Amino acid sequence: MYRKLLFAGMLVLSLSTCKQGIDKETYTKFQTRGNEVTNLAQGTLLAKVGSAIQQGGPEYAVEFCNLKAGNIVDSLNQVYNCTISRVSEKNRNPENELKDKIDEDIWRAFSTNNQSDTLLVGKNNFVYYKRINTAMPACLKCHGNPETDITAATKEKLMTLYPNDLAVGYKLNEFRGLWKVEFMP
Ligand code: HEC
C-alpha cells in the first residue's frame, strides 16, 4: 500500500516535469552535472579524511568530515553555480537534517529502492539527489557500532562536537545519506 503511494508520488513528480516542458537534453545535462560535482566533492572529502586518519587516527580525522572544512565545496559551488550539501534522517550535524517534505519523500523512496540518483525539476531550479552508502569499512570507524567499531577517543570527540549525534550503528553498505545539489538555472 505504502509503496503504491510512493510510486504514485513519483509519477506525479514526473508528470509535473513534463508539464513544465523540460526536455530530455536539459534533464540529462543537470543529472550529469550533479553526478560530476558530487563525485568531485566526495573524492576531495575522502582524500582529506583518509590522510587525516593516517596522520592522527579517526579521532583526529573527525574535524575533517565537515563540508565547510577547508572550503571543500565552496569552489565547486561557484564553478557549477550550485549549492552542495548532505542530508540524512539520522544526521550527525544538526545542519544536515532533512529540510522539507520533498527531502523526506526522496529519503523514503531511496530507503525502499536501490536507486542511485534522481533530478527534481522545480519552478526555478533543479535539485539533484544522490545516494550515499557506508560503502567502505573506514566509514564504520565513525558511523559503525559504538561498542566494537568506534574507539573511545573518537566517541569522546564525537560527543563533544555533536552532542545530538544520530549517525552511529551502521553496518557496511547501508544507506547513510544523500548528496543534495541545488542548481539555479
Ligand atoms: C573520521 C570520522 C569519520 C569517518 C571515517 C566518516 N565520517 Fe561521515 N561524518 C563524520 C562527521 C564528524 C560528520 C559530521 C560532519 C559535519 O559537521 O557536517 C559526518 C557526516 C557524514 C554525513 C552527512 C550527514 C550527517 O550525518 O551529518 C554523511 C552522509 C557521512 N558522514 C557519510 C560517511 C561515509 C559514507 C563514510 C565512509 C566513506 C564516512 N562518513 C566516514 C565523521 C566521519
- Residues 112-142 pLDDT 10s: 999 999 999 988 899 999 999 999 999 999 9
What is the predicted pLDDT for the residue at 71? 83
**Whole-angstrom distance between the N-terminal and C-terminal Cα of the chain?**
37
**For ligand 1, what atom is nearest to the CA of residue 158?**
12
Q: How many CB atoms lie within 10 A of CB 24?
A: 7
What is the distance in A from the centroid of ligand 1 to the CA of 15?
A: 35
Burial class of residue 5 in the structure, from the number of CB atoms within 10 Å of its CB (0-12 exposed, 13-18 middle, 19+ buried):
exposed
Contacts of 111 (CB under 8 A, 6+ apart): 175
**For ligand 1, what atom is nearest to the CA of residue 52?**
1
Give the dihedral of Cα atoms 154, 158, 160, 166; nearest 10 deg: -150
Q: Is the CB of 176 under 6 A from ligand 1?
A: yes
Least confident stretch, 19-23, 133-137, 143-147: 19-23
| Residues 6, 108 contacting (CB under 8 angstroms) | yes
Mean pLDDT of 166-170: 98
Choose among 121, 83, 115: nearest CA to 102.
121
- Residues 49-107 pLDDT 10s: 999 999 999 999 999 999 887 788 999 999 999 999 999 999 999 999 999 999 999 99
What is the distance in A from the centroid of ligand 1 to the CA of 185?
A: 29
What is the distance in A from the centroid of ligand 1 to the CA of 65?
A: 6
Distance of alpha carbon 82 from alpha carbon 31, whole angstroms: 13
| Residues 78, 179 contacting (CB under 8 angstroms) | no
Distance of alpha carbon 73 from alpha carbon 45, whole angstroms: 9
Residue nearest to atom 36 of ligand 1 (CA): 139
Is pLDDT at 183 greater than 60 in this prediction?
yes
Mean pLDDT of 24-30: 93
